[in-house]
Amino acid sequence: VMKILVTGGAGFIGSHTCVELLEAGHDVVILDDLSNASGTVIDKIETITGKRPAFYQADAKDRTVLHEIFTAHRIDAVVHFAGFKAVGESCHIPLAYYRNNLDSTLALLEEMAQAGCTRFVFSSSATVYGPDNAIPYVETMPTYVATNPYGWTKVMIEQILRDYCTATPGFTAVLLRYFNPIGGHPSGLLGDDPNGIPNNLMPYIARVAAGQLDKLTIFGDDYPTPDGTCRRDYLHVVDLAKGHLKAIDYAMEHTGAEAFNLGTGHAVSVLELVNTFMEATGVNVPYVIGPRREGDLPQMWADTHKAETILGWKAEKTVADMCRASWNFVCSVKKQLCPVRNRNNKTAVSLRDGCFCCLHLVDPGGAVVRDRLPVHMGEQRDDRADAADDIEQRERHGKPELPVPRQGGHMLPLRQKDIERDDRVPQPALSEAGGPRQQCRADHAEALLCEQPQRNGAQQPGGARLATPLHN
Ligand code: UFG
């Protein structure tokens, strides 16, 4: 049994990796500042694995906390996910990207040196191959040209780790170059859940499918590819998480810096992914063709030979599996929206309104007693009871309705203690093999999901009465 420090362990890839580590019998310490993740992920990891990881909510640059962690735990290896990762944003605030991503890595390496910890697994990216290499990408190719500051942080950190390994015999750095991870945990509890409007393709498709966004824009269909849309190497996040176990095993037996591609070795176009999603889930995804997105390469995929032969790792899941898992996660999140009552037994139910959800106050009989309390999308999972309170307050004091917010608009405060729900019971998720897909066929999946029996058997005021979506 090893004790692994996972920075960014509450994030998309980090959380799935924590699950795999715990299920393999390892101890896990999570360090995450929750700047792009929810604290409820820690509970969900416990629900899935039956083990609660130690959790420190702090910035990975925070030397005091790092020192505390390395003093309190005998850490055998570090898996470093924490970092800023939005390509577009990195072009606008490059200093923040360099400061955050480089500093956290340096701070970790220095604390590891003090503690005598010598194994480091780094979340790198296929972006390090830059625009000039031929495809498929092979680990031996040069990686010194990135196309944006985010990509440069990955190139630079890889170089820092190589230099450090050269200077420090006995130290191991495994550089894992991820291609395009999508999907989620089969329980439906973990998945990719970005705040605001997603940048990446799969979370965007899933929100269009769920009716939270109107349509997908495909960025260009005039690329030199078979159908004209860009091709990527999408891999299932559970496969990717398993790759980290193999990387840790490798680190225990080797020293020095070594890079590995983690991908499937197959390219899938944007159109193929959209079509596979529709086939695999039975849900329609309206799309339009738009202009190209700046900086996109026509196609890329991994040469997976090295990971297969040296790590003994190979991605196993199909693109249809990935699509079902992504949809399953969105369906599960939506289910969590419904059964939350405030102290007066009123329920706040969210219904879509463009990109934003509006909350509607529903009495125990299911009638909508008050509607249109807008709430920012990113907040929607945790504030049902608060919202119900808030709507009632507004009623009582005759306060005007809030305007429907634009992105980054009004946010409701969280008051976890009022929320009556049990997140720890695994969802009756759609099975990976297909599941009761007709339940998700409706255009307005959310209202439909309110009709489903609640997993904890608790009374669900008004559930069945919301069969017809309410739109303003
Ligand atoms: N796309 C659309 N519409 C959308 C979103 C994306 O058509 O609304 C297209 C993109 O143009 C691209 C493909 O879908 O052709 C995949 O785009 P993603 O943003 O999902 O993924 P990228 O391949 O652009 O980016 C990923 C990671 C980055 C990493 C990069 C390069 O998100 O972290 O690969 O390796 F830097």
CA separation for the pair 53, 92 (Å, rounded): 35
Question: Pairing between strand 77-80 and 180-182?
Answer: unpaired
In ligand 1, the atom with minimum distance to the C-alpha of 295 is: 24
- The helix/strand count (H/E) of the chain reads as 13, 16
Question: Pairing between strand 268-269 and 231-232?
Answer: antiparallel
Which has the closest alpha carbon to 152: 129, 177, 175? 129
Q: Which residues pair with 236 in a beta bridge?
A: 182
* Alpha helix stretches (DSSP H) within 210-300: 237-253, 270-281
Q: What is the pTM of this model?
A: 0.76
Q: Are 104 and 82 in contact (CB under 8 A)?
A: yes
Q: What is the number of alpha carbons within 13 Å of residue 279 lying toward its C-beta?
A: 10
In ligand 1, the atom with minimum distance to the C-alpha of 231 is: 15
For tokens 């500051």, name the residue: 149
Pocket test for ligand 1, best of 91, 182, 232 (most atoms within 8 A of CB): 232
203: CA distance to ligand 1 center in Å?
11
Name the residues annotated as catalytic. 150
Pocket test for ligand 1, best of 137, 157, 285, 296 (most atoms within 8 A of CB): 296
C-alpha distances in angstroms, 27 versus 4, 55, 250? 6, 12, 18
Which pLDDT does position 13 carry in this prediction?
98
200: CA distance to ligand 1 center in Å?
5
C-alpha distances in angstroms, 158 versus 35, 117, 143, 315, 396? 24, 18, 9, 23, 58
Which pLDDT does position 193 carry in this prediction?
85
Tens-level pLDDT at each residue, the chain (472 residues):
999 999 999 999 999 999 999 999 999 999 999 999 999 999 999 999 999 999 999 999 999 999 999 999 999 999 999 999 999 999 999 999 999 999 999 999 999 999 999 999 999 999 999 999 999 999 999 998 899 999 999 999 999 999 999 999 999 999 999 999 999 999 999 999 887 889 999 999 999 998 888 999 999 999 999 999 999 999 999 999 999 999 999 999 999 999 999 999 999 999 999 999 999 999 999 999 999 999 899 999 999 999 999 999 999 999 999 999 999 998 887 655 443 455 565 555 544 333 334 455 655 555 555 554 444 333 333 345 555 666 666 656 655 444 333 232 222 322 233 223 323 223 333 333 333 322 222 222 232 222 222 323 333 332 222 222 222 2
Which pLDDT does position 212 carry in this prediction?
84
What are the structure tokens assigned to 441, written together? 């066929």
Which pLDDT does position 194 carry in this prediction?
84
Protein residue whose Cα sits closest to atom 11 of ligand 1: 219
DSSP symbols for 81-121 = --S---HHHHHH-HHHHHHHHHHHHHHHHHHHHHHT--EEE
What are the structure tokens assigned to 43, written together? 């509970």
Residues with CB under 6 A from ligand 1: 85, 87, 125-127, 151, 180, 199-201, 204, 216-219, 230, 232, 270, 293, 296
Which has the closest alpha carbon to 39: 27, 51, 56, 16? 56
